[in-house]
Amino acid sequence: MRPCLTAALIGEVLSQFAPTALPAEPLPVAPAPFEEPQEVLVSGQYAAEWPEGRRLVVTIQMVTPDLITLQRHSYSSIPVTFRRVDEDVFRDRQGNSLSLQGPTRLTWTDPTQETSVTFQREAR
C-alpha cells in the first residue's frame, strides 16, 4: 500500500515553491479605459478607379479590429497587412494607409507618390 499524502503535507511542499508576496503599488498614471474601435469594415470585394480611369479591384478582409488585409486582383499577389495606427487609419510597412470612411467605403493613400483612391464595396 502506498503512503497517502495529507493536505497539510501537500500545502507545506507547495508553499516552498510559491513566490513571496510583494506590496502592491498604485500605477503612476491611471490606465485609459479600453474603447472598442468606432468603425468596422465589412470584408469583401471592393472597387475603385485610378486617377487616369483604370478600374482597380481588391479583396479586403477585416481580420481583427486592428488588422486589415488587402489583396489586388489585377495580378497574383499576397495580401498586404495594414495595422491600426489611429481610430480610423491603418498603415502598411511601406507607409501606405487605409482610411475608413464607413463600413463599406475606404481610401487608400500612397504618400510617396501622392496618390489616393477611394474604394467602395461591390454588391454581390
What HEC string does the chain produce? CCCCCCHHHHHHHHHCCCCCCCCCCCCCCCCCCCCCCCCCCCCEEEEEECCCCCEEEEEEEEEECCEEEEEECCCCCCCEEEEEEECCEEECCCCCEEEEEECCEEEEEECCCCEEEEEEECCC
| Mean per-residue pLDDT, 78-105 | 94
> Quick one: pLDDT at residue 50?
87
| Mean per-residue pLDDT, 53-66 | 92
| Mean per-residue pLDDT, 16-21 | 57
* Structural domains of the chain in order of their starting residue, each with its CATH number: 44-121 (2.40.128.50)
Please state, rounded to an integer, the average pLDDT across all residues of the chain.
80
pLDDT at 3 over 60: no
The pTM score is: 0.66
pLDDT at 20 over 80: no
